[in-house]
Amino acid sequence: MRLRRTSRRLADGREIIYFDDTPGAPERTAEDTRPLGERAASGEIRFDALVGDWVAVAGHRSNRTFLPPKDECPLCPTGTGSVPSEVPESTYDVVVFENRFPSYAPVSAHTPGELRIGDLIQSRPALGRCEVVCFTSDHESTFADLTPERARTVIDAWADRTAELGAVPEVQQVFCFENRGQEIGVTLHHPHGQIYAYPYLPDRSGSILAQATEHHARTGRLLGADILAAELHAKERVVIDTEHWTAYVPYAARWPVEVHLAPRRDVPDLVALTDDERDDLARVYLDLLGRLDRYYVTKDGSPIRLPYIAGWHQAPAKQGRDVSRLHLQVMSVLRSPKKLKYLAGSESGVGGWVNDIPPERIAARLREVAQ
């Protein structure tokens, strides 16, 4: 097997999982000796009756680590900095662990059950799980710098966690994502992503499911498949097209830079991908990230590392799996080398999006910067 999986426990009981692809990688036996005390419990989720959505309230997250110096990075291997980190081992390939400051957690400080005062005041424990995914032990690297082999290991880790977390009774949606860049709001510079296992279906996931359900009832086909077919037919927004994957700028892109990456085959989630599809995804995703990092350049022609959010939209864990189709969304707030798109009155107030950049122009630029 190309991958070795090792599950261990940190000092406060949180799980840490090592995914090793390096031949001869050491056994993962290091103990976490930090005096951490009890693990953080979850907050609560409160129902917003005005719009029919849930909001997590997690006051303990206000004390989470914020942009520490490199020698105090909690994601580097222990022994490489001045303090012990979240990773007890002195080396690692890819590692996943439960977040120390979770929005959703498997343990709750609240009384089990639901608080309900009529239909308008509802809350319950935010039972679920939040995990951190360290793509590499190299603090100065990024996902775009990974080898295809290491990117494939991250994909396998995402699939592993999607399957395990999706089986948890309370979990309704598993979302694997990466925030990159201070403009996005990252609090740790080390290359990493996160996985949220939600105890409810978040707003965008619910909207996607509703659209997909209606489309399937009306046509008998998958909405995601028909959108992909329409983009392939139009061609002008297609950026990359391979045997297994297509990257395109969506017709109604909302962000100054936005790309969707979809499999050619109908699959509900990352778990369902074959080995060949995962291998091709590793190559295509690295190609796409490289183009994004060449999208903007300085006056002297130097590329600008693009701040972005990348998130996998997968089938919900417990419903609508027969009408759902996997895709990745990558988006950036950078609308020029020195200007950000702010979600001001229209976007934040009523959700009325305005994009200053035509999607066809985004796609043309991404094709132009291919290597």
pLDDT of residue 274: 98
Find, among 68, 98, 71, 94, the residue nearest to 86 by Cα. 98
Contacts of 368 (CB under 8 A, 6+ apart): none
Structural tokens at position 97: 């662990």
286 in Cβ contact with 155 (< 8 Å): no
- For the chain, residues with pLDDT lower than 70 are 109-113
The Cα–Cα gap between 313 and 168 comes to 18
Q: CB 302: neighbour CB atoms within 10 A?
A: 8
Q: What is the pLDDT of residue 164?
A: 98
Domain positions in the chain are 4-200, 204-368
* Gap between the Cα atoms of 241 and 243, Å rounded: 7
Q: Is CATH 3.90.850.10 the right assignment for the domain spanning 204-368? A: no
Q: 139 in helix, strand or coil?
A: coil
How far, in whole angstroms, is CA 16 from its chain's centroid? 18
pLDDT of residue 108: 79
At 179 the three-state DSSP class reads strand
Catalytic residue among 190, 192, 215, 327: 192
pLDDT in tens, 15-55: 999 999 999 999 999 999 999 998 988 889 999 999 999 99
Per-residue pLDDT at 168: 97
Give the C-alpha separation, 329 to 327, whole Å. Answer: 7
CA dist., res. 16 & res. 74, Å (int): 13
- The reply to whether 192 belongs to the active site is yes
Say what the pLDDT of residue 106 is. 93
Which helix or strand (DSSP H or E) is residue 334 part of? strand 334-336
pLDDT at residue 111, rounded to an integer: 60
Q: What is the pLDDT of residues 147-169, one digit of tens each?
A: 999 999 999 999 999 999 999 99
Domains 4-200 and 204-368 share a fold: yes
Q: How far apart are CA 367 and CA 371, in angstroms?
A: 9
Task: Tell me which CATH homologous superfamily contains domain 4-200.
Answer: HIT-like (3.30.428.10)
Cα–Cα dist 98/236, whole Å? 42
